[in-house]
Structure formats: structure tokens, C-alpha cells
Structure 1
């Protein structure tokens, strides 16, 4: 869990730097955070009709987006191994993307699953 000071500093970062931070923290803690309700996880969309599954590195950041259209949602943790094996495989089949660390005022980085996997694996390789 990040400190209050870390949260404040990270929220000042642009989307690309939040993406790098997310990759590092997911590799560190081996969890991905999403938001959802009793009907399932929330998805984001872009202006071209593409669907993206939003992820964050920590609960505190995900909770920031549980308002407006997502007011009924709450942050939920997903173990990294399960996320990779189950979710990413399904997302690839459905041609979905990931929205990395969106904020209420910023959609974050929309990225293809393959690119996310490559960046994450590169970070994980540094740990093992």
C-alpha cells in the first residue's frame, strides 16, 4: 500500500509515467486492481468503440474512479497469475485493450494486451 505522500506524487504524473509506475508496482506486489459491482467488472471505452479493461496497481488509486458512472463499483484485487492466465487470454480473444491507471479526469494509457504482457514480463524478469 502506498503512503499518502506517494499517492499524492503519483497522481501528479502524466499517463505514461503512471503506466511505468503501474508495471513496476504490479511486478512488485503481484496483484492487479480493477473496479466492479455485483454485475462484474467495469470496462472503459474509447471514442472509437473499443472496449478496455481498467487496471490500477493499488486499491487506493482504483477507488478514485468509483464515482459518476462507476459509483456503484468498488475496488477488487486480482492475483497476477490468475489475471494473466484467465483474463488476458480472454481479453485477447475478444480483442479488448487495457486502460492503465485511468483517473476521473484522464483515461490513462490504452494499450494492447500483447504490449502490456511484454512490458510486464520485462519488469518481472528483473525480479527473478
Structure 2
């Protein structure tokens, strides 16, 4: 493995926990393995490790872009990563409200559902 891959796995572990990060890579089908490799190296290893933008700020930017695109599954994942990167529930709610104004009600409603599901899962995991 190269340095970018290892750095990417470290970011994934910090944002989603070691179990989920390792599971995503280990359970990838032969078809999906190249995708997981590129995502780990370039998305997380090359981009999320850059120092000119804090990881917390990257979470805000990422959530904003995903909410604008109506990417429910990815919003849900990045809410969890955002919490790990220091975002508060109130800040995530503000992103959803901001999305309503700049991207429209349908996009914000999709984001709202995804955020509520992710936050409920986080709360449920705390109680387990």
C-alpha cells in the first residue's frame, strides 16, 4: 500500500470508526474494489488530509454540496463523519435550513430526512 492509501484509511477510521472503514474495503466486490481504492487514496488520502482547510470545514463544505445535490445516502454518512469532525447538531440543522433557501425545499427535505436518520443512529449507538 502507498502513503496516500494509508493516510486515507486513517481518515476513514477517524470519521466512521475502524470497524466501518475496514468493512467497507474488505467487503467490496471485485467490481467495487478499484472504486474503494481510488476513493481511499484520492478522496480521503489526498484531499481530506490537506492542511489549508480544517477537517471540520471540509465536513461543512461536503455536507453542503451533498445536500444541494440531494444525495441522501452520502448526506447520512457525512453527518456521522461531520459529528466526528466536531460539527454540532445545531450546525448541521443550520446547513439544512441554509439548503432550503439556496437549493429549494425538496433538496432540504431530503437532507433533513437523511440527517435525522443519521443522528438517530448515532444516538442509538451511544445507548448500545
Common fold by TM > 0.5: no
Q: Could you say which structure has the greater relative contact order, defined with CA pairs below 8 angstroms and 6 or more residues apart?
A: 1
Bigger Rg over Cα: 2
| TM-score normalised by L of structure 2 | 0.34
| TM-score normalised by L of structure 1 | 0.34
> Relative to total residues, which structure has the larger strand share, 1 or 2?
1
